[in-house]
Amino acid sequence: IFEGASLGAAKRSIAIEVSIQPLEKTLTDEDFEALAKRIVENVNKQTGGVLRT
């Protein structure tokens, strides 16, 4: 967890690692992008966290 003035008041930066190992098929780029989007949306919904760009 990182806290600092560069993030803004009362904000923290954390890293989350997600391993994806599909059992049924190889993911296409589109499959992966859709899955990544769902993960980011769920983190935002459950914690209020946002992806830094």
For residues 5 and 7, what is the distance between their CA atoms, to the nearest angstrom? 5
47 part of a folded domain: yes
Q: How many domains does the chain have?
A: 1
8 part of a folded domain: no
CB 39 within 8 A of CB 49: no
What mean pLDDT comes out for the span 30-52? Answer: 93
pLDDT tens figures, 1-22: 777 777 777 788 888 899 999 9
Identify any residues that bridge with 1 across adjacent strands, giving them in sequence order: none
5 part of a folded domain: no
For residues 3 and 20, what is the distance between their CA atoms, to the nearest angstrom? 29
30 part of a folded domain: yes
For residues 34 and 18, what is the distance between their CA atoms, to the nearest angstrom? 14
14: Cα within 13 Å, side-chain hemisphere: 10
Range of the domain at 28: 22-53
According to the model, what pLDDT value does residue 14 have?
81
37 part of a folded domain: yes
DSSP assigned state of 2: B
Tell me if the pTM is above 0.85: no
